[in-house]
Amino acid sequence: MKAFLGMGLLGSGFTRAMLQKGEQVQVWNRTESKATALQQYGAKAFSTPAEAVKGAGIVHICVKDDETVDAVLAAAEPGLSLGTIIIDHTTTSLQGAVDRTRNWTAKGFPYQHAPVFMGPSNALDSTGYMLVSGDQALIQQLDSELSKMTGKVLNFGDEAGRAAGMKLLGNAFLICFTVGISDTLALAKSLQIPTEDLTKLFTEWNPGSATAGRLSRMLKGDYDNPSWELNMARKDTRLFIEASHIAGVELTLIPAIAKEMDKWISQGNGNKDWFVISKNALD
């Protein structure tokens, strides 16, 4: 039997998937109605974390942040049996994951941080990506448990907290990517281009598929053989900003990029590959 603490969108999806596989799951959530809602699928809901974890060999947790994880686990501790494994799917700080791994393992409760790149539907369908790092013997022991929850488990080695850091990197990219799409939509509005045409463009031409190759080129740091000169990229950025100003539409990310480009051009990098603006991040 296992317990799951935190019946948000991911937690409830994970729990329903476990129940569909015939597992017994005891659940808790701060808003009790979210836990009791899972009873219709076969879960047993409890009013406190300590009650929910009693008798569980594995406790999953997926809550808001470091502080919430610490508070919920502290509340659950009186109900834990020595040796109970804690698997934390919360997106947290790297240091928080390191500290919890050390502290809970020292208490006799093996702790595995396993954040995910998954939406609620993925949690329910057991598809997506789960990230792990740390004690490789524990990860191997948990392989069947974690693999059946997701499409793929990505192991980043024996350093506790590395998975937490990788999750933050992925989320940083997603946030920048989404704001970039928002600016693209704003520019389309400025140019009076319908979103149907924008959808057609990105259906046929998928720049996201070039991410790995672009990263590889940036890591090489070869700025003297440009595929797109910084001066030319800055010219296009000026056109974006001018069009948005004329239409009275606000851009969020592009003006900040233009400012960074101007700094690098002023340092004599205008004829280099525009990737040069990433140089400080790599030095």
Q: Among 157, 116, 150, which Cα is nearest to 135's?
A: 157
Q: What pLDDT is stored for residue 283 in this prediction? A: 87
Q: Are 272 and 223 in contact (CB under 8 A)?
A: yes
Radius of gyration, alpha carbons of the chain? 23
Q: Where are the domains of the chain?
A: 2-158, 166-282
Query: What's the whole-number average pLDDT of the chain?
Result: 97
pTM (two decimals) = 0.94
Domain 2-158 fold: Rossmann fold (3.40.50)
State pLDDT tens for residues 154-172.
999 999 999 999 999 999 9
State pLDDT tens for residues 96-105.
999 999 999 9
Domain 166-282 fold: N-(1-d-carboxylethyl)-l-norvaline Dehydrogenase; domain 2 (1.10.1040)
Provide the pLDDT confidence category of residue 271 given band limits of 50, 70 and 90.
very high
DSSP class per residue in the chain: -EEEE--SHHHHHHHHHHHHTT--EEEE-SSHHHHHGGGGGT-EE-SSHHHHHTT-SEEEE--SSHHHHHHHHHHHGGGPPTT-EEEE-----HHHHHHHHHHHHHTT--EEE--EE--HHHHHHT-SEEEE-S-HHHHHHTHHHHHTTSSEEEE--S-TTHHHHHHHHHHHHHHHHHHHHHHHHHHHHHTT--HHHHHHHHHH--GGGGHHHHHHHHHHT--SS-SSBHHHHHHHHHHHHHHHHHHT---SSHHHHHHHHHHHIIIIITTSBGGGGGHHHH-
Q: Among 196, 191, 208, which Cα is nearest to 251's?
A: 191
Q: What pLDDT is stored for residue 234 in this prediction? A: 98
State pLDDT tens for residues 178-208.
999 999 999 999 999 999 999 999 999 999 9
pLDDT at 151 over 90: no
pLDDT at 281 over 90: yes
Q: What pLDDT is stored for residue 97 in this prediction? A: 98
pLDDT at 38 over 90: yes
Beta bridge partners of 86: 59, 111
Q: What pLDDT is stored for residue 1 in this prediction? A: 96
